[in-house]
Amino acid sequence: MTLSEEPNLRASLQQENLLRRITNRIRLSLELQEILTTTVAEIRSFLITDRVMIYKFHADDSGQVIAESINNNKLPSLLGLNFPADDIPPHARELFIQSRVRSVVNVDSQQIGQSIVRDLETGETISEDIRYRPVDPCHIEYLMAMGVKSTIVVPIIYQEKLWGLLVSHHSQSRTFTEDEIEVVQMVVEQLSVAIAHSKLLAQARATAKREAIINRVASLLHSLPAIALQPALEAAVAAFNGSGGRLCIRNDISDFQSSNTRSLAECLMPGSDCVRLYICGQQPIIPEQTIYPLLEQYSVWQEYYKSGEYDVWAISDVYQTPGLRSLQPAFMATKIRSMLMIPLQYRQHLLGYLSIFRDEIDTETLWAGQFDPDKRQLYPRLSFEVWRESKKAQAQKWMLAEIELAREFGKQFGSAIQQYELYQQVQAFNTNLEKQVKKRTLQLQQATEQQHAVFKVIAKIRESLDANTIFQITTKEVCQLLRAERVSVYRFNANWGGEFVGDFEATSPNWSSAAKLSINLVWNDTYLQDTQGGRYRNNETFAVDDIYKMGFAQCHVDNLEQYQIHAFILAPIFVGEKLWGLLAAYQHSGSRHWQDYEINFLTQIAVQLGVALQQAELLNQTRLQTEQLAEALQDLRQMQTQLIQSEKMSSLGQLVAGVAHEINNPVNFIHGNITYVSEYAKDLLNMLALYQQYSYNLSPEIRERTEEIDLDFIVEDLPKMLSSMQIGTERIRQIVLSLRNFSRLDQADMKPVDIHEGIDNTLLILQYRLKARPEGGAIEIVKKYGDLPLVECYAGQMNQVFMNVLSNAIDALELHRQSISETYIPVITIKTAVGQISGNIPSVVISIADNGPGIAEDAMKRIFDPFFTTKPVGKGTGLGLSISYQIVVDKHGGVFKCNSQPNLGTEFWIEIPMQQQ
């Protein structure tokens, strides 16, 4: 090595060490501030300058120094100080973003150098030398006021936006080399990766925090039999860092038999007492002499939500909202400045309002030097001393994440309040029912045999909540206890006609009924139809001892004679407040004097029959609601599963594509230069051989050194080594290409793709699992590809399906290989062909089969269910095949099925249309 090469080598090692240290820091920590602090210290040590800082831009284009490293206080600290947007002109920002330009300024020479990374017109990555030109005098004055004589500025780009700047200041004149600029550029590129990692971490933490808050509030709300509304309100206020809040809800629990529940607007009318109010923290002060004592009674809320769209109303400043002018006096005596109005809705019904208040705040911003924020800075500042800009009574803007959290709170509060109302209705109904039962029981205790009979019938009715069973029990028991010849249940229809739905006939030799009553017999009585239930609407029981002594019209008598009815009792059956039908006792053999206790007995049974029918109806409603809730919960879980899996695959695809991109450039560089290195080595070896051929008298030192390094072996092994390196880099390039093709980040839309390419890329990614291992041989892949055209599909999602199916096949084969003989050869067979799906639509069929252990019959029934897996604990989530099924069937309108038998292997059949409709 020559003396001139030694400094270059030392500089190269120093650069590599710097990049390695920063890269390791990024890998070891996801805390961005820690990474930035380490970076500025390392860069300052590398450049040997007086100050290195990282400057981050705000949304208004101003910025702040968030990380800084200073050499022995040679320059004043700027950490935490803000700089106005005017300090960096728009054209400079544009160059930073479009061309990734790096800027170098030397105050003594009054020159500014710019090095462009990307071509402005084509967008291609280039590496231009530094181009110098005279620097703007204003820029010189600006730097001299800061005590800086040389500087370098490199933009930090995140997601194609100017995130910030890495700036190096030096108090003396200094020249920066192109190599130093390139090193700083590489460090900045690493920072972009660190920023992306930090963003993902911040999003994950925010999601976890939001879910924890929602779960805490939900646990308070859904804690029946009580509902902790006050603690839930306090938790909601704390979640928004609010100063107060209030919950105003409807408190009008209607009877279960009635649907006359008052609306929230009716409950909020002045003088109404059907609202409940919970408050927490600071509240607006409503004037005492007003007809609207509640904030929610003001018409502004009804006006805002008159369209029926009940969404969160985020009010950043109550004094800047015209619709709140009538309410502004209530806030003037408080520090409340911002408000969230959250309507509580359940199934299109408004149940109440949840309000969150937030106080005004005083802000203080530290600026690097005083400036006029109301107009453009015309001249460079002469001083960068800290200038404190204080603002009093500022409103806090509601963030999008807070509004989303408010919507979720609205759903939780709304569903919990509705659930609690239903619970109270059931409790009220049960309480009323218990009172009725107690009253009836007391009457039964005071009565004689009749009362015991009533109790017996009621007990038997209560044994079932099935309507037909209730009818059978009632008619039989009443018929036997009354010693009647027939007892029937008659149900009204919408036209006040009706039919018999229950009937029991006592065997008697005293009469015969050629045209007897029976179940499903329709009997439309004109009197009942004209009067819509007649006397029975007034809950009257009608007893007839002899039809010929009641003065009935002849047509009525003829109708009764048709069914051989000579005496009867009709008792009304009410379900709630509605006349449902009649309980009838008939005497066919002749007239009969009905005793008062018999009439009362039938009346009481009719009442209990109505209660039983109502309970049966409520049971059916409860079962239906339970099924609907279970179905909604299942849909919600499935949607959450899809979102989680989609987000994971999206993040994984971005990460894979990013890693592939980062690997691709250095590998291409190495691969492209190995050919030249091989030629150079060959020429050197030929030169060495020629030298040895014509140099006979070698010095002893050369001979000794030749033997020491084994020159012959080097001459023989060096070409082999370079050839191996070339094969290795080619292999890496193939893997990188497969990773990029598999991720398909540029193919999120549906487009024609090569299915075979997707399968091959998946196999290449899984190659490490297919190779031979110490515990067994390699897994053999048999491809039987058909001649397929391009298929219109979502390429990335179909690659996900191939990955899930092939991974499951490999898992099954590995597990099967451990339990059978060593002669077993695991095989995966992949077939593709052209087919026709339902409706003679051209399709492509992909079959992936293995010769593994197969799947048991009971597991086959649930193979596509979410969270179902046959793998050991910790080896699978049960989501792969469920998500694959949705991709193939729901997204592509295809067929996804599984054929398997124990010990005979498993085949997955994937079929999708060639063109999507």
Q: Given a cut of 90, is residue 79 above it in pLDDT?
A: yes
User: Per-residue confidence at 237, pLDDT binned at 50, 70, 90?
Assistant: very high
**Interval 454-458 mean pLDDT:** 70
Residue 211 CB coordination number (10 Å): 11
Summarize pLDDT for 134-174 with one digit per residue, the tens.
988 888 888 888 889 999 999 999 988 999 999 999 999 98
Summarize pLDDT for 11-57 with one digit per residue, the tens.
667 777 777 877 777 777 778 888 899 889 988 988 899 999 999 99
Beta strands in 728-819 (DSSP E): 751-753, 780-784, 791-793
**Interval 254-283 mean pLDDT:** 77
Question: What is the distance between the alpha carbons of residues 515 and 503, in angstroms, rounded to a whole number?
Answer: 14
Q: Which helix (H) or strand (E) holds 23?
A: helix 5-28
**Interval 419-448 mean pLDDT:** 77
User: Per-residue confidence at 384, pLDDT binned at 50, 70, 90?
Assistant: confident
pLDDT at 746: 45
**Interval 585-602 mean pLDDT:** 85
- Name the most confidently modeled range: 16-25, 92-101, 324-333: 324-333
Of the given ranges (471-480, 597-606, 652-661, 839-848), which has the lowest mean pLDDT?
Answer: 652-661
Q: Given a cut of 70, is residue 500 above it in pLDDT?
A: yes
> In the structure encoding, which two tokens stand for residue 190, read together?
């690493």
Summarize pLDDT for 506-532 with one digit per residue, the tens.
665 565 554 467 787 888 888 888 888
User: Per-residue confidence at 431, pLDDT binned at 50, 70, 90?
Assistant: confident
> In the structure encoding, which two tokens stand for residue 7, read together?
């400094």
Average pLDDT of the chain, as a whole number:
81
Q: Given a cut of 90, is residue 122 above it in pLDDT?
A: no
> In the structure encoding, which two tokens stand for residue 198, read together?
């930090």
Question: What CA–CA distances, in Å, run from 58 to 65, 164, 165, 719, 884?
Answer: 11, 9, 12, 56, 42
pLDDT at 1: 46
619 versus 207: which is more confidently predicted?
Answer: 207
pLDDT at 710: 76
Question: What is the distance between the alpha carbons of residues 865 and 861, in angstroms, rounded to a whole number?
Answer: 9
Q: Given a cut of 70, is residue 376 above it in pLDDT?
A: no
User: Closest Cα to residue 673, out of 621, 722, 624, 741?
Assistant: 722
Q: Given a cut of 60, is residue 874 above it in pLDDT?
A: no
pLDDT at 234: 93
pLDDT at 238: 93
Q: Given a cut of 80, is residue 535 above it in pLDDT?
A: yes
pLDDT at 662: 62
336 versus 553: which is more confidently predicted?
Answer: 336
User: Closest Cα to residue 257, out of 619, 573, 539, 576?
Assistant: 576
pLDDT at 303: 86
Summarize pLDDT for 198-207 with one digit per residue, the tens.
888 888 888 8
Entry field: residues in the chain: 917
**Interval 770-780 mean pLDDT:** 79
Q: Given a cut of 80, is residue 696 above it in pLDDT?
A: no
Question: What is the distance between the alpha carbons of residues 14 and 23, in angstroms, rounded to a whole number?
Answer: 14
pLDDT at 557: 85
Summarize pLDDT for 714-734 with one digit per residue, the tens.
777 778 777 777 766 766 766
Summarize pLDDT for 283-307 with one digit per residue, the tens.
999 887 778 888 888 888 888 888 8
**Interval 634-662 mean pLDDT:** 61
Q: Which helix (H) or strand (E) holds 35?
A: helix 32-47
Question: What is the distance between the alpha carbons of residues 403 and 313, in angstroms, rounded to a whole number?
Answer: 9
394 versus 8: which is more confidently predicted?
Answer: 394
pLDDT at 257: 46
Of the given ranges (439-453, 556-570, 757-771), which has the lowest mean pLDDT?
Answer: 439-453
> In the structure encoding, which two tokens stand for residue 119, read together?
């071509």
913 versus 709: which is more confidently predicted?
Answer: 913
Q: Given a cut of 60, is residue 255 above it in pLDDT?
A: no
Question: Residue 356 — φ and ψ, nearest 5°?
Answer: -120, 130
User: Per-residue confidence at 650, pLDDT binned at 50, 70, 90?
Assistant: low
Q: Given a cut of 50, is residue 256 above it in pLDDT?
A: no
Computed from CA positions of residues 276, 282, 284, 285, in that sequence, does the dihedral angle turn out positive or negative? positive
DSSP labels, 641-707: HHHHHHHHHHHHHHHHHHHHHHHHHHHHHHHHHHHHHHHHHHHHHHHHHHHHHH-----HHHHHHHH
Q: Residue 176 contacts by C-beta under 8 Å, 6 or more apart in sequence?
A: 47, 104, 150, 152
pLDDT at 92: 84
Q: Given a cut of 60, is residue 75 above it in pLDDT?
A: yes
pLDDT at 660: 62
The one-letter amino acid code at 288 reads E
Residue 832 CB coordination number (10 Å): 21
> Side by side, which strands form the sheet with 567-575?
498-505, 486-492, 578-587, 567-575, 542-544
pTM tops 0.75 = no
**Interval 688-711 mean pLDDT:** 77
